[in-house]
Amino acid sequence: MENLVIYIISDSLGETGEQVARASIGQFNINNYEMRKYPYVLDVNFLDEILNEAKNENSIVVYTLVDLELANYVAKFCENNKIPSIDLVSPLLKSISLRTNLKPLREPGTIRKLDEKYFKRVEAIEFAVKYDDGKDPRGLVKSDLVLIGISRTSKTPLSMYLANKNIKVANVPLVPEVPVPKELFEIPSKKIIGLTNTPEKLNEIRQERLKSLGLSSNANYATMERILEEIEYAEKIMKKIGCPIIDVSNKAIEETAGLIINIMKENGLRVYKGFLNS
């Protein structure tokens, strides 16, 4: 049997066409075949070169082209030259359009864009974990945003929530006995947001925290005197930096995150639109 050549033509990576072709060829006892993959085919001239090569061989054309002009060109060329061809995209797009009454975007590479979106989110989450709780002050310079505040002001939950919006967040705890990292004063104040809470709420939260750890609720960490000292210390630092301050006492994480994103926009900081509703 003459060697079979399967042409895989795509306006993206061509992985879908390749996987379908390999799954299909696996159903036959064929050894003399080859696959030629042509990714990122975005113009008719390039497409024409590929198809003219295919017409001179014992070929099959498999294509995943969302551009209607290119898809129609392949269909017509293959029909005129009696080349078996399979359009893996258009029939499904038509079916989805029929059921939803929506028109397809016909934009190449949308799957790849989704992948990029996913990996950017993962990168932001890994960043938040790496630079949580002041672990490494070097992360402050690399961050999109820095959250500062005393213990139990939702720094970590907010960092993770914002990371899921593709915002790289570092956070720094403010403790009277621990020097503030010098990097905090080396970055623009508009990149910093201070978080605070009411003494009563902090007292309640900290006592519950101690109980969950099996410690006495009378420990200095949860006393009103200690809490007031920490709040006063934190406020001095925040005023020195000149950053906005948000009271998180009666706010859900989502609400506080919304306020932070609005402040970032007002300060001209980059906010990734494609992730705000994800």
Largest CA distance in the chain: 89
149 annotated to bind ligand: yes
3-class SS of residue 89 = coil
Residue 156 is assigned to a ligand binding site: yes
Q: Is 150 annotated as a binding residue?
A: yes
C-alpha dihedral, 3 to 4 to 8 to 14, nearest 10°: -80
List, as own/partner pairs, every contact residues 265-272 make where C-beta atoms lie below 8 angstroms and the sequence separation is at least 24, other chains included.
Answer: 267/190, 267/191, 268/190, 269/144, 269/145, 269/190, 269/191, 270/144, 271/165, 271/167, 272/120, 272/165, 272/166, 272/167
Ligand-binding site membership of 106 (annotated): no
* Strand bridging mode 245-247 / 192-196: parallel
Cα Rg for the chain, rounded, in angstroms? 29
| Token pair of 119 as six digits | 């990996």
Residues flagged as binding site for ADP = 149-156
Residues flagged as binding site = 149-156
